[in-house]
Amino acid sequence: MPDAVQPVAPARAHETADVDGPHIGLVAGMLAITLVVVACAAWGALHLLRHETDRTLFPTAATPTQMPSPPLQSAPAIDLRALREQKRAMLSEYRWIDQDQGIVRIPIEQAMEVLIARGPAKRR
């Protein structure tokens, strides 16, 4: 019987280490260099801007300005009653709105009666 060819099993590879130390060190070093470069650029920009404006950018001795408090109603119930009286008077009085164009304000009850008397076709 001729020699049978035995299949060759591929060599099994496995990880030799969990962490690649040199690459992690390289990335950490690049990150540190980047942070130093950015910090220097920010310091330089602030230094340049301070010389451009001839003042400090962050005044620490300045006192904050006091905002005025909003005006509050001293008696809101009385104000509401007065507003309702004013609106009620507007609904029940005669008054010229525009005398040149003949526009007047009439009491609302009378205005409703006029609209009913005109009928649905003449309301506009």
* pLDDT tens profile 49-89: 877 666 665 666 667 778 888 888 889 999 999 999 999 98
Confidence of residue 33 (pLDDT cuts 50, 70, 90): very high
pLDDT at 10 over 90: no
The pLDDT of residue 13: 72
Confidence of residue 119 (pLDDT cuts 50, 70, 90): confident
DSSP secondary structure, 37-50, as one string = HHHHHHHHHHHHHH
pLDDT at 3 over 70: no
Question: What is the 3-state composition of the chain as percent helix, strand, coil, each rounded to the nearest 5?
Answer: 50, 5, 45
The pLDDT of residue 66: 84
Backbone angles phi, psi at 71, to 5 degrees: -70, 130
Q: What is the DSSP letter of 55?
A: S
Query: What gap in Å lies between CA 57 and CA 79, rounded to an integer?
Result: 48
